[in-house]
A = this chain, B = another copy of it.
Amino acid sequence: MADNDSPKAELASLRAEVDEIDQQIILLLGVRFRCTDMIGELKQAHGMDLVDAKRESQQVARIRRLAEEAGVPAALAETILREVIDTVVDHHTRLRERPYS
């Protein structure tokens, strides 16, 4: 029997898959921040409000539905989305306070 059939090897293999997924998620978040940076610049250039409560509630409803379909706890998906949005808004607020820094 090959060593990679042992529970320990199976655990290592599954963990490697988890690590790969985490890396892909981080890369996607990086692209997402580049998109939201462009949104922040666009809003600043055209005097649009930074926060859009209607958009945010649509995003939350959508992410909860997608999460349920994907077998992800909806509450976790909502928490993550809200943390990402809060980080984006904080960042845009700082940009607006120091537009030339």
Q: Using a CB–CB distance below 8 Å, which chain A residues touch chain B? A: 7, 10-11, 14-15, 17-19, 21-36, 38-39, 42-43, 45-46, 48, 55, 59, 62-63, 66-67, 70-73, 76-77, 79-81, 83-84, 87
Give 13 pairs: A residue, B residue, CB < 8 Å, sorted on A: A10-B42, A18-B36, A21-B28, A21-B29, A21-B35, A22-B62, A22-B81, A23-B66, A26-B63, A26-B72, A29-B70, A29-B72, A30-B72
Report the separation of the CA atoms of residues A23 and B81 in the bound assembly, to the nearest whole angstrom.
11
Partner of A14, one of B19, B35, B62: B35
Interface of A: prevailing SS: helix
Partner of A38, one of B14, B63, B76, B87: B14
